[in-house]
Amino acid sequence: MECTYLLVRTTPNYRYVRDPDGEPGGEQGKGGRGRYHSPLRQERANDTRRRITTASLELFADCGYWSTTIAAIAEAAGVTVQTVYATFGSKAGIMKALLTLMENDAQAPVWRERIAAAAEPADKLRAFAGWTTSMFSASKRAIAAAQEAGGAPTLSELKVEGDRRRRDALDRLLAPMEGEGVLRAGLDRHSATDRAWLLTGVELYLAATTGCGWSDTNYTDWLGDLLVNQLLATRNIDP
């Protein structure tokens, strides 16, 4: 397939974009304006997103989700109201962006490697407990704001999706343990996943750290021991 290179500006901030479907002369090959990629423009867009999400989190935490207006967010972020709408569409869209930062802030790839590298089933479960704590701790303020905004349809859907992903991750973790015969008697992977999913929800984390005043370390140790004792046969539990 013949590829063309679309029109770009002759400045260091722009580069050629290879287009396998276009024709010479710009977008759609009809002499129109060519498409281009601007690293500088992308950097500015990322900075705008960051300022909006940072300002939103502060306002959601201080004033509450429902009391915070788009105008207030725009003012705090130093952008126009139109920019906020163009970037996120709505307050629910901003909250969705905040929550999707949870895994990045919690260093998800690092924790996945730790879990995979753990040799013993008990160590894998304790590592998963550590990942759970890291994710919730990094986003405690966003979680609190999301809970207050729980009636927003988009956020309800987001929670459902987040719960589904957590269940899938636990199912993948526990499936090999079923094959190795290390789960408690009477537990198959599905029953074990149900138990683990219930125990690793954000509600227990908030109850422990906010309600009881536990440290993240105390919660991690407690959750790790709980997962091990609830899911593994006695012979696979560390003395």
- In this prediction, residue 208 carries a pLDDT of 95
- How many Å apart are CA 101 and CA 121, to the nearest integer? 29
- How many Å apart are CA 27 and CA 39, to the nearest integer? 19
- How many Å apart are CA 168 and CA 196, to the nearest integer? 11
Both structure tokens of 84: 């906020």
Residue-wise burial string across 96-123, b where 16 or more C-beta atoms lie within 10 A, e elsewhere: bbbbeebbeebeeeebeebbeeeeebbb
Q: Are residues 32 and 56 in the same domain?
A: no
Mean residue pLDDT of the chain comes to 80
Element (H, E) at 225: helix 216-231
Q: In sequence order, which residues have a C-beta less than 8 Å from that of residue 112 and are 6 or more positions away?
A: 131
- How many Å apart are CA 122 and CA 225, to the nearest integer? 9
Lowest average pLDDT, out of 96-105, 147-156, 174-183, 205-214, goes to 147-156
Q: Are residues 223 and 108 in the same domain?
A: yes
pLDDT in tens, 10-39: 444 444 444 444 444 444 444 445 555 678
Amino acid occupying residue 10 = T
Asked if residue 94 is part of any domain, the answer here is: no
pLDDT in tens, 74-89: 999 999 999 999 999 9
Asked if residue 97 is part of any domain, the answer here is: no
- In this prediction, residue 146 carries a pLDDT of 66
Both structure tokens of 194: 């149900």
Asked if residue 96 is part of any domain, the answer here is: no
- How many Å apart are CA 81 and CA 118, to the nearest integer? 49
CATH code at 164?
Answer: 1.10.357.10
- In this prediction, residue 40 carries a pLDDT of 86
Q: Whose structure tokens read 């560390």?
A: 238
Q: What's the rounded mean pLDDT across residues 185-214? A: 94
Other residues' Cβ atoms within 10 Å of the Cβ of residue 86: 11
- In this prediction, residue 81 carries a pLDDT of 96
- In this prediction, residue 30 carries a pLDDT of 43
Amino acid occupying residue 65 = Y
Lowest average pLDDT, out of 49-58, 124-133, 173-182, 216-225, goes to 49-58
Asked if residue 162 is part of any domain, the answer here is: yes
Q: Are residues 212 and 122 in the same domain?
A: yes
User: Is 172 in contact with 166 (CB distance < 8 Å)?
Assistant: no
- How many Å apart are CA 61 and CA 235, to the nearest integer? 46
Structural domain of residue 3, as residue ranges?
1-37
Q: Are residues 62 and 152 in the same domain?
A: no
Q: Are residues 128 and 161 in the same domain?
A: yes
Q: Are residues 84 and 26 in the same domain?
A: no
Asked if residue 215 is part of any domain, the answer here is: yes
- The DSSP-derived string for 150-199 is TTSHHHHHHHHHHHHHHHHHHHHHHHHHHHHT-BPTT--HHHHHHHHHHH
CATH code at 83?
Answer: 1.10.10.60
